[in-house]
Amino acid sequence: MRAYVMLTTKPGTSMEVLKYIKEVSNIEGVIHADPVFGRFDAIVVVEAPSLERLSEIIYKVIEKVPNVIHTETAIVLTGLKSEG
């Protein structure tokens, strides 16, 4: 299962947070972590075998990264076929 985790960080720390997520912590299940403009400071793509494991990654690891002050998660729906 896949989820998009949108992060809000303390001002001026988004690149530091992303470096920590990508390089320092080596969080299992993180596929991408990118800075963005807009309402959030970064979006992290996480894949996990179950909802339980996904929640562990988000709540016990990502939310505890220094300077992360808020997260919002969008879990990808399964079973939908893309057209094209």
Residue 40, domain member (yes or no): yes
Residue 80, domain member (yes or no): no
Residue 61, domain member (yes or no): yes
- For residue 36, give its domain range: 2-75
Domain count, the chain: 1
Encoded tokens for 44 = 């992290």
Residue 19, domain member (yes or no): yes
In this prediction, the residues of the chain whose per-residue pLDDT falls under 50 are: none
% of the chain beyond a pLDDT of 90:
80
What CATH code is carried by the domain that includes residue 54? Answer: 3.30.70.920
Residue 81 confidence (pLDDT): 62
Residue 78 confidence (pLDDT): 78
Q: Per-residue pLDDT tens for 37-57?
A: 999 999 999 999 999 999 999
Residue 82, domain member (yes or no): no
Residue 84, domain member (yes or no): no
3-state SS of the chain? CEEEEEEEECCCCHHHHHHHHHHHCCCCCEEEEEECCCCCCEEEEEECCCHHHHHHHHHHHHHHCCCEEEEEEEECCCCCCCCC
